Amino acid sequence: MRFLIAALSVAATLVSTSAAFADKRVAFVVGNGAYRNVAPLPNPAVDANSMAKLLRSVGFDVVEGANLTRDKMTKKLLEFGKKAEAADVALFFYAGHGIAVNGTNYLLPVDADLKSEMDVKLGAAINVDLTLEQTMADAKVKLVFLDACRDNPFAARIRSAKATRSISVASGLAEMKSGEGTLIAFATGPGQTALDGEAGTNSPFTRALLANIAAPNVEIQQAMTKVRAQVNDETNKNQLPWGHTNLIGTVYLNPVAGAASAPAEAPNTASVASGPTSEVELEFWRSIKDSNKPEELNAYLTNYPNGQFKSLALARIASLQDGPSTATRNLTTGIDPLTFSEAADQTAEDQIGLDRGQRRDVPRSASTPGSTASSTSRPAP
C-alpha cells in the first residue's frame, strides 16, 4: 500500500507539472566568448549553459548556442523565430560582447572584426532591435535578458577610424524601450560597468537571474527586483541591473507551488528528482550555497521550507552568526573556509536521486586560494 501511495503521489506531481507548463515557451540562449580578433571572454558560454538548463527545467524549448560565428548565429535566430511563432512566452538571453553605434544596439558573433561603422552595419554584427522584432513579434510575452555589458575593444577601433561624419560609439548597449508585453533587462545601468566574475563561473547578473527568475510562484517583475538587489549587494553597490518593462499581466516562469503543493510524503521517503521543481531547487541551491550572507541562505529556506538542502543551509547560517558578514560573494578573494565540501553536495544530490549524468554542472564561484582580482569588466548599456 505504501508503494501504491508513493506511485500515485509521483503521478499527481507529474500531472500538475504538465498542466503548469502547458503553455508554449520558447527561448533563445547564446553565449559568445571565444572571440577571434580580440581577447576572449571566459564566462559567456558558461552563463548560457546554466541559463539553458534552468529554462528547460521549467518547460522551455531552448534554442541554444555558444561561441557562434555570424552565420551560425543567424541560423539559430531563424530557428528561434520559427519556434516562437504564436508562443505564449518567448525569452531571449545573450551573454557576450555588444556595441551601440549612434544609439542602435548590436550583438557580436565570435568572428566579428570591426574596424569601422560600415563593418558594423553591413553584416558583421547582429542588430538587436531588428532581431527581436523579427523573432519575437508574435509572442504574447517577450522577456529579454542582455548580459552584454563587457569592456569592448571594438569600440575604440571604430572611434579611431576615419569617418566623413560624426559617429557615437558606446562600448556597451544603448537604452532600449520595451513594447507591449515586453520586459528588457541589462546587467547594469547606462554608463556603468558590470563584473564578469571569476573565469569559469557565472557573472553576478546571470547568477542572480538563475537564483530568482524561476523560483516557485515568484512573478517575473518581483523576481527582477530580487535580481537587482542581489547584484547590488554582491558587488558592494557597484553594479545595479537596469531595464524597462511594459508587461500588461502577471508572468510566472515557475507557477508550481513547490514543496508546499506536493502530496505529503511518508517520513524518510526521497523526493522525486525528475520533476522541474526539483531541478529548479538544485539550481537555486547551487547559486547561493557558497554565499557569506545569511539573507541569501534564508531566501532558499523561504522558497523551500522542506528542501533537500535545508540542513546544509541551516548549518551554514549558524556558522555565519559568529560575526557580521560584510563580504560579497567570493568573486576575487581566496576560498572561504566555510564553504561546503564537494562530499556534502554529492551526498545531498545522491539523496534526491540525481545520478552523475543528471547533476547540473553549475560552476562554482570561489576562486583559487591566493588569487588576485581578475574579474573582467563589461561596459554598460
This model's pTM is above 0.85: no
Cα–Cα distance between 215 and 257 in angstroms, integer? 10
Identify any residues that bridge with 92 across adjacent strands, giving them in sequence order: 28, 144
Copy the grid coordinates of residue 199: 573565469
User: What's residue 343's pLDDT?
Assistant: 41
> HSE (CB half, 13 Å, CA atoms) of 95?
34
Asked if the model's pLDDT at residue 346 lies above 60, the reply is no
> HSE (CB half, 13 Å, CA atoms) of 26?
23
Asked if the model's pLDDT at residue 381 lies above 70, the reply is no
Distances in whole angstroms, Cα of residue 263 to Cα of each of 7, 19, 57, 108, 377? 11, 16, 20, 48, 46
Cα–Cα distance between 57 and 59 in angstroms, integer? 6
User: What's residue 193's pLDDT?
Assistant: 65
Copy the grid coordinates of residue 234: 554582491
User: What's residue 170's pLDDT?
Assistant: 61
Pick the CATH number of 19-245 from 3.40.50.1460, 3.90.1150.10, 3.40.190.10, 3.30.465.10: 3.40.50.1460
Contact (CB, 8 A) for 308 and 351? yes
> What mean pLDDT do residues 293-308 have?
78
Average pLDDT over the chain, rounded to whole?
74
- Summarize pLDDT for 180-231 with one digit per residue, the tens: 899 999 998 765 667 777 888 999 999 999 999 999 999 999 999 999 999 9
Domain spans of the chain?
Answer: 19-245, 258-351
Asked if the model's pLDDT at residue 325 lies above 50, the reply is no
Cα–Cα distance between 47 and 27 in angstroms, integer? 14
pLDDT-wise least confident of 65-74, 157-166, 290-299, 326-335: 326-335
Which residues contact residue 60 at a Cβ distance below 8 angstroms, ignoring those fewer than 6 apart? 25, 26, 27, 89, 91
State the maximum Cα–Cα separation within the chain, in Å, rounded to a whole number.
Answer: 82
Cα–Cα distance between 31 and 66 in angstroms, integer? 5
Cα–Cα distance between 80 and 26 in angstroms, integer? 8
Confidence of residue 90 (pLDDT cuts 50, 70, 90): very high
User: What's residue 367's pLDDT?
Assistant: 34
Contact (CB, 8 A) for 158 and 115? yes
pLDDT-wise least confident of 54-68, 92-106, 154-168, 317-331: 317-331
- φ/ψ of 194, rounded to 5, equals -105, 145
Asked if the model's pLDDT at residue 73 lies above 60, the reply is yes
Confidence of residue 167 (pLDDT cuts 50, 70, 90): low
Q: Which residue has the higher pLDDT, 68 or 166?
A: 68
User: What's residue 224's pLDDT?
Assistant: 96
Copy the grid coordinates of residue 376: 573582467
User: What's residue 28's pLDDT?
Assistant: 98
Give me the percent of the chain exceeding a pLDDT of 70. Answer: 65
